[in-house]
Structure 1
Amino acid sequence: MTDAETVLQDTVAGDSVRLEEKQMRNLLCIGCTAAVLMIGGEAAAKVTEAEAARLVGDLTPVGAERAGNADGTIPAWTGGLSQPPQGWSRGQREINPFPDDQPLFTINAGNLDQYRDSLSGGHIAMFETYPDYTMPVYQSRRTAAYPEQVYDKLRQNALTAELLDNGNGVRNTIMTSPFPIPKNGLEVIWNHILRYRGEQISFRSASATPSVDGSFNPIVTEYDYFIAYSEPGAELADIDNKIFYLKTETISPPSLAGSITLVHETLDQIRSPRLAWRYDSGSRRLRRSPNLAYETDMPNSSSLRSVDQKDMYNGAPNQYEWNLLGKRELYVPYNAYELHSGNHGADDIIHAGHINQNLTRYERHRVWVVEAILRTGISHIYSRRMFYLDEDSWQVLMTEEYDNAGDLWRVSEAHNISFYSEPVFWTTLETTYDLKAKRYYIDGLNEGQAPFDFEPGFRSNEFTASAARRAARR
């Protein structure tokens, strides 16, 4: 372990989950990838041919370390789950590829100190807040995989992609993460924002905001994505600064059914801000929603989550300074096939305080650690945020959100799987725990819902405001 890794581990995994800003700013970054970039800084340079060659050498095509760790608890990456397991056929929900796996051990309040160095500050806080909280830890399986054309684009992006001068966008990139060999924290967060999630996706899931006693009323929503940035043959100049188009429609309960939100997610949101419209079934009017960004309460979240926490983080990164703190080996949510299975209803998953941890799966993985510090003069409910990104996918697995007094306020998790019909590693269920209110937000409950459809056959003109207005009136 390097001196920098020791400093990071000792600081983050100390007895207190509140980390002093001065200490964090003094942390050393690890290796050649760990330069610190302020948002107003100069655009970062693309990598050289020699550096890009590492993506077929010691690094995976995504930019992760191909080798396992020293003690063998993290295996080498051998291609991920690139082929579906036996017994699964297209059109079915993903089945568990590891049905015989059992927990190696379970972390609880009684043995917490034994594993503290391998836990994030947020997870330590969950144990300290909820005495019955547990984390079942399984064999680590590096399942993340993508189509070959995505791997090809990753290498091309590595050679050409650059941050814009203000850091609020990228250029010379397409389809997937721009910076598989990142130089700073801003490049890492753009890797998450632009990671490959398929080209078109349609699915339904339920969300809920349980009360302290665990009672809840689920809200079922349909999500339709058209990801222009990842469309075959797309070029950055041709997509009109759009990353994706998203239309959501509330299906139930009846009091909310028919409400529609339409979002045009832009790449450089300072030059061309996110466009959003909201159709309220009560007023029967489609209106622009200029404030559907940043710290605005996410609809139907009972003020437990901000808009920019959807998908763990989204939107323009201009409100924060992004510091890359290096990598850590942590126990993180991974391969959540049991939660995804559809075999467990909302009553089985939702418990008072937190979800049913017996249905979760945690594994030891290497994660990139990025700290976001609110810029001077900017208003946001979170003064500091910590992000833990999977090295094999650029998916944010966990976050920590601090209030303006510097105290840890919320902890979020993304429970992910590798999908089969379109090889992609993505969220199946997300949670945000409010440690003050002792409540949480959950999204991704899928009992009774159809599997994700990665080939719905959408056209981009189905995501215009006029198309949304026509759909709302049907």
Structure 2
Amino acid sequence: MRFFPRSLLGGALCALFGATGLQAAPSVDASRLGRDLTPIGAEKAGNADGSIPAWDGGLTRAPAGWTPGHGDPFAADKPLYSIDAGNLAQYQAQVPEGQAALIKAYPGYRLDVYPTHRSCAVPAEVAERTRANAGQSRIGADGWRLEQAVGAAVPFPMPQNGVEVLWNFKLRYMAKARRAQIALLMREKGGDLFEVKQWATEYYPYNDPAVKSPADTDGIEAKLLYDVLSPSSRAGEMYLLHSLLDRPQDAWIYFPGQRRVRRAPSFAYDNPVAGSDSLYFVDQINMFTGALDRYDFKLIGKKEMVVPYNSYKLVDKANKYEDLMGPDYLNRDVQRYEKHRVWVVEASVKADKRHSFAKRVMYFDEDSWGLLHVDIFDAKGNLWRVQEGSQWADPGIQACTSFEYVSYDLVARRYLADGFTQEGEVLDLTAGLEGRVTDSLFNPSELRRRGER
């Protein structure tokens, strides 16, 4: 298992604490951004054997007829090879432990590996602001709070530690807001498909170039609003989350039967998501959400791995949920994998904290800072759950985005999918750029007003 030298990670770990936070690492050289590094910190060059090409700016123009959920810019590609139980040993070093476990556990589970396309673009303003502010972002003296960063920029393009990688993921550019009709899906024990349909509206104030510091967003990282549409027994429920830069998230729930908005402090960390049969915890939403305070994040290094990428076949609205959700795993024919360089971070529960997940091993795409895969371990060190993300480039926002993701429980031998948009009528990634979603939507009083209409 070969990791790249730490010199490529931007230098030695910064360990000097100041009165207000960690000091900027002196080894951060902003002139590398746009030269040998992409504007947000990835290596521009391809790899030694050419299986990962050089970054050429990404997918900045939509192919003719393409819109989100319709079409595939790389539809002409054919798989280079597949990884399955018969040849896993040959590729073991290139797949996360969780993928290897799924291949071994389920007959027919495979990874179809396609030519690599580094499709993630970077908006010009994000590139400019990241370079101008490189070395200025600060982590607090507690080791996890974000105390200084500007909007519409990657805070740590040359990360020195795991926490900085996590903040790059949490503040990655996906435009200011988006909305979609999504579904949470799982097979019940009898085999029937259970579905929770929702409106998802997500607001990312840190993607606004007007933001100069955390004070400009009132310490808000993201605001998430979920309106339940079905099943009928839950229709009208609403969930509002405020993810925060310096403390655990705030949450509120509206129950239509009570016609009340209730604060929900338990809607966080490893508390189960309603309707998930305890297969899915709150901080697994969007692959990882919420505060970083319960884990130590160790930066392991950068590695070439086979990961889900350019997931256009998966998100295509020609797909039906019944066909996507197999009895044991997601339909393999719609999954696309490519070899990419990823940052590997190991999250271990702090000695004075508790969490049902004792360890998480997380794989972040170097070109977008998206979280593509997570292996989750219990307190005995056993692999428990496997999370798989999706990622695809949208020229409309000049960046990569993701909605769909899957969580496999190897103990319960069941799995769950969330954020699926294929049967939804709306997939709107430019809602914030064009003013269809604004900050006023994301407060408890608005939740109450909407519930009482």
Query: Is 1:173 the equivalent of 2:149?
Result: yes
Distance (whole Å) between structure 1 residues aligned to residue 348 and residue 192 of structure 2: 35
Match of 2:268 in 1: 293
TM-score, length-normalised on structure 2? 0.93
Partner residue of 1:120 out of 78, 96, 108: 96
Query: Is 1:206 the equivalent of 2:183?
Result: yes
Partner residue of 1:131 out of 100, 107, 115: 107
Q: CA deviation at 1:281?
A: 2.2
1:425-444 equivalence runs, <5 A: 425-444=400-419
Distance (whole Å) between structure 2 residues aligned to residue 364 and residue 142 of structure 1: 10
Structure 1 contact 333–397 (Cα < 8 Å) conserved: yes
Match of 2:174 in 1: 197
Structure 2 contact 66–72 (Cα < 8 Å) conserved: no
Structure 2 contact 181–424 (Cα < 8 Å) conserved: no
Q: CA deviation at 1:39?
A: 13
Partner residue of 1:461 out of 440, 445, 451: 440
Change (3 A) 1:300 1:197: farther
Query: Is 1:395 the equivalent of 2:364?
Result: no
The aligned amino acid for 2:71 is: I
Q: CA deviation at 1:444?
A: 2.8
- Segment of structure 1 superposing worse, 160-169 or 121-130: 160-169
Structure 2 contact 182–418 (Cα < 8 Å) conserved: yes
Structure 1 contact 39–321 (Cα < 8 Å) conserved: no
1:72-471 equivalence runs, <5 A: 72-88=50-66, 93-175=69-151, 176-212=153-189, 214-236=191-213, 237-269=215-247, 273-445=248-420, 446-455=422-431, 456-471=435-450
Q: CA deviation at 1:46?
A: 2.6
Q: CA deviation at 1:167?
A: 2.3
The aligned amino acid for 2:450 is: A
Partner residue of 1:56 out of 16, 23, 34: 34
Change (3 A) 1:119 1:213: farther
Distance (whole Å) between structure 2 residues aligned to residue 142 and residue 32 of structure 1: 20
- Segment of structure 1 superposing worse, 335-344 or 156-165: 156-165
Structure 1 contact 205–221 (Cα < 8 Å) conserved: yes
Structure 1 contact 214–350 (Cα < 8 Å) conserved: no
- SS at structure 2 position matched to 1:371: strand
Unaligned 5+ segments in structure 2 are: none
Structure 1 contact 411–434 (Cα < 8 Å) conserved: yes
Structure 1 contact 94–420 (Cα < 8 Å) conserved: no
Change (3 A) 1:214 1:150: farther
The aligned amino acid for 1:146 is: V
Unaligned 5+ segments in structure 1 are: 10-27
Deviations 1:222-258 (A, max 9, x none): 1112222222412222211112222110011211111
Change (3 A) 1:33 1:131: farther
Distance (whole Å) between structure 1 residues aligned to residue 117 and residue 274 of structure 2: 35
The aligned amino acid for 2:375 is: E
Deviations 1:176-204 (A, max 9, x none): 43100001111111111111121011111
Deviations 1:422-471 (A, max 9, x none): 12212131001000111011013222422224225233222221111000
Structure 1 contact 214–353 (Cα < 8 Å) conserved: no
Distance (whole Å) between structure 1 residues aligned to residue 77 and residue 276 of structure 2: 34
Q: CA deviation at 1:106?
A: 1.1
- SS at structure 1 position matched to 2:428: coil
Deviations 1:365-407 (A, max 9, x none): 0000000111113111011110000000111100011011110
Distance (whole Å) between structure 1 residues aligned to residue 449 and residue 268 of structure 2: 25
Distance (whole Å) between structure 1 residues aligned to residue 139 and residue 28 of structure 2: 20
The aligned amino acid for 1:219 is: V
Distance (whole Å) between structure 2 residues aligned to residue 116 and residue 126 of structure 1: 12
Structure 2 contact 181–199 (Cα < 8 Å) conserved: yes
- SS at structure 2 position matched to 1:154: helix
Q: CA deviation at 1:38?
A: 9.3
- SS at structure 1 position matched to 2:89: helix
Distance (whole Å) between structure 2 residues aligned to residue 205 and residue 317 of structure 1: 26
Structure 2 contact 397–429 (Cα < 8 Å) conserved: no
- SS at structure 2 position matched to 1:217: strand
Change (3 A) 1:127 1:36: farther
Structure 1 contact 39–186 (Cα < 8 Å) conserved: no
- SS at structure 1 position matched to 2:128: helix
Structure 2 contact 126–154 (Cα < 8 Å) conserved: no
Q: CA deviation at 1:409?
A: 0.2
RMSD: 2.2
Distance (whole Å) between structure 1 residues aligned to residue 135 and residue 424 of structure 2: 45
TM-score, length-normalised on structure 1? 0.89
Distance (whole Å) between structure 2 residues aligned to residue 459 and residue 431 of structure 1: 29
- SS at structure 2 position matched to 1:209: strand
- SS at structure 1 position matched to 2:270: coil
Distance (whole Å) between structure 1 residues aligned to residue 189 and residue 309 of structure 2: 27
Change (3 A) 1:56 1:39: same
Distance (whole Å) between structure 2 residues aligned to residue 389 and residue 39 of structure 1: 26
Distance (whole Å) between structure 1 residues aligned to residue 253 and residue 208 of structure 2: 26
Distance (whole Å) between structure 1 residues aligned to residue 380 and residue 356 of structure 2: 10
